């Protein structure tokens, strides 16, 4: 799992860099893939810090963090499977300060490294955020819709 996780991270990193390089070039800016891949690496820093903080918190408390992000706002049961098919829960579990920090770093990378104006950089950043949120919610919706009769 660790090996495939690292491979997936690398592939995702390259896809992300290619998407934002092409976006920058679409807006008429000159940027290279190497510049974008370096800049996209910086957007992972908040998640690295988040994982260390959560790992340390779990080590100290001895408890697993069951509800990520803002999903704990709608939890009404101690049953971990009670909200497994809830798309609102899936959406809220992907929202936290580290996501917004990463999006801000992405925005800065597009402005500084991609050469985009602040107005132009907002749109690809927002599109990326919507795609990432959808990637977390769509599987939940599919499972909910396909298992509705069970």
pLDDT tens track for 122-137: 999 999 999 999 998 9
- Distance CA(116)–CA(23), nearest Å, equals 9
Q: What is the mean pLDDT of residues 1-30?
A: 90
- pTM of the full structure: 0.86
Cβ–Cβ < 8 Å for 98, 49:
yes
Q: What is the mean pLDDT of residues 49-67?
A: 92
pLDDT class of 76 with cuts at 50, 70, 90: confident
Per-residue model confidence (pLDDT) at position 148: 64
């Amino acid at each position: 799992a660790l090996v495939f996780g690292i491979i997936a991270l690398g592939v995702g990193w390259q896809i992300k860099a290619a998407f934002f390089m092409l976006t920058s070039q679409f807006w008429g800016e000159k940027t290279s893939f190497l510049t974008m891949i370096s800049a996209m690496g910086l957007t992972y820093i908040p998640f690295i810090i988040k994982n260390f903080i959560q790992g340390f918190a779990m080590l100290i408390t001895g408890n697993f963090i069951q509800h990520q992000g803002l999903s704990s706002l709608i939890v009404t049961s101690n049953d971990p499977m009670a909200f497994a098919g809830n798309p609102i829960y899936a959406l809220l579990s992907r929202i936290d300060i580290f996501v917004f920090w990463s999006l801000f770093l992405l925005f800065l990378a597009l402005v500084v490294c991609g050469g985009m104006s602040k107005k132009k950089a907002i749109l690809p950043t927002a599109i990326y955020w919507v795609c990432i949120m959808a990637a977390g919610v769509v599987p939940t919706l599919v499972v909910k819709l396909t298992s509705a009769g069970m």
